[in-house]
Structure 1
Amino acid sequence: MRDIVITLIVFASLPYTFKKPYIGALMWIWISVMNPHRLSWGFAYDFPFAAIIAATTLLALLVAPGQKRPPSSPAVAVMIMFTVWMAISTLFAIHPGESTVMLQRVIKIMLMNLVVMMAVRNKEQLHWMLWALAGSLGYYGIKGGLFTIATGGSFRVWGPEGSFIFGNNEVALAFVVIIPIFYYLYLISDKKWLKYGMVGAIGLCALASLGSYSRGALLALLGMFGFLWLKSPKKAALGVGMALLLPMIILFMPAKWTERMDTIDNYQEDGSAMGRINAWQMATNLAIDRPLTGGGFEIYDAYVFARYAPVPNDIHAAHSIYFQCLGEHGFVGLGLYLTFAILCWRRANWIIRQTKKRADLKWAGQLAGMIQVSMIGFGVGGAFLSLLYFDMPYYLMGALLITGQIVQDSLRQPAAGQPGATPAEAADPAATAAAQAPRNGARAAKQGSI
């Protein structure tokens, strides 16, 4: 039954995608982030839904009228450069065959993030994008939170099989990253039941994150909630809520969860933690030996660890987005990745500054602040996880750049209520141009008479 429902939803959306390409972008986010087909047991499990949606959306963008370009930001150019550099590092990879397979997967993610930025053009479409992201991860977060409550936190929460976030550590960080988006949706919702729903989703996602038994997610959660409080326009209410919610959640967890979290202080005695440090040292040594391109994808095996790791037989994945990027793509790749993140952060700061005195753009400043909170959560938690290619953060930074473009376009027109603008002119650029034409003509005639 699930196979049929998922198939009907996907194929029913295709005709609408040709009319409105952003619908294809929303469907892509749903399939790639939530992986709903992995919840089925029949033909839909391995059906190429993603390829069909991607091809339809690309074709729809080609035939759609109007401009077809991503937001005008240096961050877009750096993201493209980073993608190209990953292709270059694959040419010099230690394992070219395996690296090429992974490159194809990564290029799809980067290409479709670019497509999403081209398809989503206005505030309404952007909000639908955020609902798609929140709903896709919120399904697992709410389900995981309820599972943690039902089991008393005695069992770990896992993600959807066959996805980037299948592991308990990975899905926990995904829950952390999506919490600020739920909070933004809470801020813009005008219905009480919807606000209550967002508060419930935040609490359950936080509980599911802790229920994963991920130590990195706990650090990310604490760092993110602190920054969330700084960015929130309702500091008093949020502060009281966090002061009550977090201790209650932590006290709810069983003794074995507390014992695992205590190993953060005694990491030297923890084999998993020391294995991660060994993997980080391997990536550093590899990058020093191959500083430009690194070793390419798929370098976590006996051959590479024997050459570069301090403890050759202790083989682990990168367990850090930063060391993963350094080991796989060298110092150039890491520099491009960090530059992309910094440019997105600066764009968020610009949005917040520009929208302070614009009531009509208040939402954009709030969204930029919440995406910064998500970036903090991912930056902290990602220091301990191999999630460099997880598509969710790229979509959020894409949403940030889309927001910047909307604000930039809006600033070219005076806001409603400001001198020189009528409400109709502020809402409609065409009306503004029509209203300004007689004034411009009068000025020209006056100058000509002088």
Structure 2
Amino acid sequence: MRDLVITLAVFGSLPFILKRPYIGVLMWVWISVMNPHRLSWGFAYSFPFAAIIAGVTLIGLLVTKDPKKLPMTPIVITLMAFSGWMGLTTIFSMWPNESVVMLNRVSKIMLMTFATIMLIKTKEQVTLLIWTLVGSLGYYGVKGGIFTVATGGGSIVWGPQGSYIEGNNEVALAFITIIPVMAFLYMQAQNKWVRWGMAASILLCAFAALGSYSRGALVGIGAMLFFLWLKSPKKVLLGGLMLLIVPIAITFMPDKWSSRMETINTYKQDSSAMGRINAWYMAYHMALDRPLGGGFEIYNRTAFELYAPVPDDVHAAHSIYFQALGEHGFVGLGIYLLLAFLTWRKAAWIVRVTAKREDLKWAGDLARMIQVSLIGFGVGGAFLSLLYYDVPYYLMAAIVSTGYIVEKVLEAEAAAARAAVRDAARAARIDAEAQAQAARPAAS
């Protein structure tokens, strides 16, 4: 039954995607982030829904008469540079065959990110994109939160199979990333039931993150909550709620959870933590030896024998930063960090120029919450291999689109102001000429 529902939903959307390609972006985000087909057990489980949606969306993009210019902002140019650099590092990869497979997967994310920037152009479309992201991850967050509460935190929360966030650590970071975006929808909601539902979802997602037993997630939660408080217009109220809820949530978790979290202070005695540090050393030494990095898929015994202090302790990168460094060298890491900086700066600009604008308040609220989301991802991602996780790229696209909308409003107002000045000057000139002409007979 689930297979049939998902298939009907996807194929039923295709005619609408051709007519309004932005719907294809929303469907792509739903399929790629939520992976609803992984919740089925039949033919839909491995059916290429994402490829079909992407193909139809791109066709719709080509045939639509709507404006479809890609804004060449610093963020977009940097994202292009990052995509091109990954292609270059793949050519010179240590394991090119494996790298090409991963490049194909990553290229789809980058292509649809560009499509998102091109097609999401209005406040309503940006809001729909945010709702799609929240719904896709909120499903697992609410479900995981209920599971954590029902089991007393005694079992681990996992993510959807076959996705970037299948692991407990990865899905916890996804929850941390989406909570601030949920807060944006809470702030924008006019209906009290929507507000209560969003507040409950935020709380359950937080419990789900704790229920993942991820130590990196705990650090990410701390950073996210601090910046959420810092960016909130109601600091006293939010701070009071945090002081009330956080201790209760931590006390609710069982002793084995507390014991695992305490190992953060004794990481040198933890084999998993030391394995991550060994992988970081490997990535660093590889980047020193190979300016282009090793390319994708470098986490194998050969690479560790060449570059790691402990050759037989093979681990994944367990850090978005060391992942970028090892796979794409110092240049790749620099481009990635530049992309993050430019996104943050654009969000800060949106917050600044909309500070006293009630009509653009939504844009400022969204930019602030995306900043909080990216802080949570940036801190938690320091301990996870999620360099190519698509949600941060879609949030980045939302910032670009929101900035575009704000710029258009400001440009229209500036043009109207200039036109008003010209009209006033023309009227004054005509009036002066009329008065001069009327004065001539009197003078004669």
TM exceeds 0.5?
yes
Within a 5 Å distance, the mapping from 1:249-398 to structure 2 comes to: 249-291=249-291, 293-398=292-397
| Deviation sequence 1:336-372 (CA, Å, 0-9, x none) | 1000110001101111111112111111111100000
SS at match of 1:228: helix
Higher mean alpha-carbon deviation, 349-358 vs 28-37, is at: 349-358
Compared CA separation, residues 47 and 94, structure 1 to 2 (3 A): same
Compared CA separation, residues 123 and 310, structure 1 to 2 (3 A): same
| Deviation sequence 1:310-331 (CA, Å, 0-9, x none) | 0000000000000000000001
The residue type equivalent to 1:269 in the other structure is Q
Mapped to 1, the partners of 2:197 and 2:320 lie a distance apart of 32
1:400 maps to what in 2? 399
The residue type equivalent to 1:185 in the other structure is L
| Deviation sequence 1:10-63 (CA, Å, 0-9, x none) | 111111112211111100000000000000000000111001100111111111
Compared CA separation, residues 295 and 447, structure 1 to 2 (3 A): farther
1:135 maps to what in 2? 135
Mapped to 1, the partners of 2:273 and 2:368 lie a distance apart of 32
Higher mean alpha-carbon deviation, 367-376 vs 439-448, is at: 439-448
1:202 maps to what in 2? 202
TM-score, normalised to structure 1's length? 0.93
Mapped to 2, the partners of 1:346 and 1:444 lie a distance apart of 44
1:190 maps to what in 2? 190
1:424 maps to what in 2? none
RMSD: 2.0
Within a 5 Å distance, the mapping from 1:142-157 to structure 2 comes to: 142-157=142-157
1:427 maps to what in 2? none
2:238 maps to what in 1? 238
1:118 maps to what in 2? 118
TM-score, normalised to structure 2's length? 0.95
Query: Matched residue pairs, number?
Result: 435
Unaligned runs of 5+ in 1: 422-431
Is the contact between residue 325 and residue 334 of structure 1 (CA under 8 Å) also seen in structure 2? yes
The residue type equivalent to 2:217 in the other structure is A
1:428 maps to what in 2? none
Mapped to 1, the partners of 2:421 and 2:135 lie a distance apart of 43
Compared CA separation, residues 319 and 411, structure 1 to 2 (3 A): same
Alpha-carbon offset, residue 66 of structure 1 = 3.1
Mapped to 2, the partners of 1:280 and 1:8 lie a distance apart of 45
The residue type equivalent to 2:366 in the other structure is L
SS at match of 1:264: helix
Compared CA separation, residues 351 and 314, structure 1 to 2 (3 A): same
Alpha-carbon offset, residue 436 of structure 1 = 9.0
| Deviation sequence 1:197-229 (CA, Å, 0-9, x none) | 111001000000000000000000011100000
Higher mean alpha-carbon deviation, 64-73 vs 295-304, is at: 64-73
Is the contact between residue 92 and residue 296 of structure 1 (CA under 8 Å) also seen in structure 2? yes
Mapped to 1, the partners of 2:47 and 2:431 lie a distance apart of 69
Q: Larger Rg: 1 or 2?
A: 2
The residue type equivalent to 2:315 in the other structure is H
Mapped to 2, the partners of 1:437 and 1:25 lie a distance apart of 42
The residue type equivalent to 1:62 in the other structure is L
Is the contact between residue 203 and residue 245 of structure 1 (CA under 8 Å) also seen in structure 2? no
Mapped to 2, the partners of 1:268 and 1:363 lie a distance apart of 46
| Deviation sequence 1:275-303 (CA, Å, 0-9, x none) | 00000000000000012x10000000000
Within a 5 Å distance, the mapping from 1:2-13 to structure 2 comes to: 2-13=2-13
Alpha-carbon offset, residue 412 of structure 1 = 1.4
Alpha-carbon offset, residue 70 of structure 1 = 2.8
Compared CA separation, residues 438 and 273, structure 1 to 2 (3 A): same
The residue type equivalent to 1:350 in the other structure is W
SS at match of 2:160: coil
Mapped to 2, the partners of 1:225 and 1:108 lie a distance apart of 32
Compared CA separation, residues 302 and 362, structure 1 to 2 (3 A): same
The residue type equivalent to 2:91 in the other structure is L
1:99 maps to what in 2? 99
Alpha-carbon offset, residue 65 of structure 1 = 1.1
Compared CA separation, residues 72 and 364, structure 1 to 2 (3 A): farther
| Deviation sequence 1:228-262 (CA, Å, 0-9, x none) | 00101121221111111111111110000000000
Alpha-carbon offset, residue 414 of structure 1 = 3.0
Mapped to 1, the partners of 2:432 and 2:313 lie a distance apart of 80
Higher mean alpha-carbon deviation, 365-374 vs 234-243, is at: 234-243
Mapped to 1, the partners of 2:332 and 2:338 lie a distance apart of 10
Query: Percent identity at matched positions?
Result: 61
Alpha-carbon offset, residue 151 of structure 1 = 0.9
Higher mean alpha-carbon deviation, 268-277 vs 357-366, is at: 357-366
Within a 5 Å distance, the mapping from 1:27-106 to structure 2 comes to: 27-106=27-106
SS at match of 2:264: coil
Within a 5 Å distance, the mapping from 1:423-438 to structure 2 comes to: none
Is the contact between residue 71 and residue 402 of structure 1 (CA under 8 Å) also seen in structure 2? no
Unaligned runs of 5+ in 2: 437-444
